[in-house]
Amino acid sequence: MRTFFVSFFILVAAKLSAQAIERKIIIENGNYFFSTIDDSNQLATLNTGKVNDAIADSKKLAMPAGRNYDDPIVPFSWDIEDTSVFAISFLLHPLNDRNEAIKRLNISSLKEWSTTVTPLNLIMQSVETNPFAYNDPYLFVTRRSNIISGFFYDAIVTSDKAYTMAISNGGELSIWKYNGTTWKHGDMFKFPVDGYFSLFEKDKKTYLILNSGMVYEATMNGLLPVNKDCGSSLPSGFLVINKDENTVSFMKKNDLNQRTALNELITKKAIRIF
């Protein structure tokens, strides 16, 4: 039995170390957070640790949430706010209702991966977890058109405590805000995208970074161009959102060394956006 447990944890560690960081690393109160996705079941892992430690030593928390694996693959949408992680769970499962996909999970309730934390249990937990908000943006765009083309989304919690989402389909894009009770959104506007995008906030303004690396300010009335970019295509790396230092940077996947302290790695390799 001891040999089985050792082999299991070696296998889990090897799989998690090979998985790509989804969208971003968030740094807050001296801790970092990032998510990875298991290619076999699409479940998410929340990785966390101290910013002056290497991410190879991160604590790996199993999440009852994950992303889709149909085309196009939309990266896992997640954010940290205080003691909670917000996630859009688009798992392909007969019982997973995408209208109820937005989940708010207490970080302290998440368990580390072990032999007792199984994918099936996590999937069922995701299905049974009440939504933080009904996914009105998804319902709106799918009712507007039953053809899924250029469908991407991302959502974050902004400083006004609103859950803010950008969603695109059929060459249109819109910005939505949920205040804990109701959704509000601006007009749909023409804005074809050629791949996924990500949201982030800086100085109480919400920004959207495109697949190309170009950055726009995201407002309810549309996207405003700003003279910013990450110097590369978005899929080549991930954002580093440092809430302690109020900075936003971009790091290429090829520059990620899991054995180097994260703060040292950011100083040497990250490209500053704000």
Q: Please, which pLDDT band fits residue 43 given cuts at 50, 70 and 90?
A: very high
* Nearest in space to 164 (alpha carbons), one of 153, 176, 172: 176
Q: Which CATH architecture has domain 2-272?
A: 5 Propeller (2.115)
The pLDDT confidence band at residue 45, using thresholds 50, 70 and 90, is very high
Q: How far apart are CA 117 and CA 166, in angstroms?
A: 33
d(CA 256, CA 265): 8
* pTM confidence score: 0.90
Supply the DSSP symbol for 236.
G
Residue 144 has pLDDT above 60, yes or no: yes
Compute φ and ψ for 89, nearest 5 degrees: -95, 100
Q: What pLDDT band is residue 18 in, cutting at 50, 70 and 90? A: low
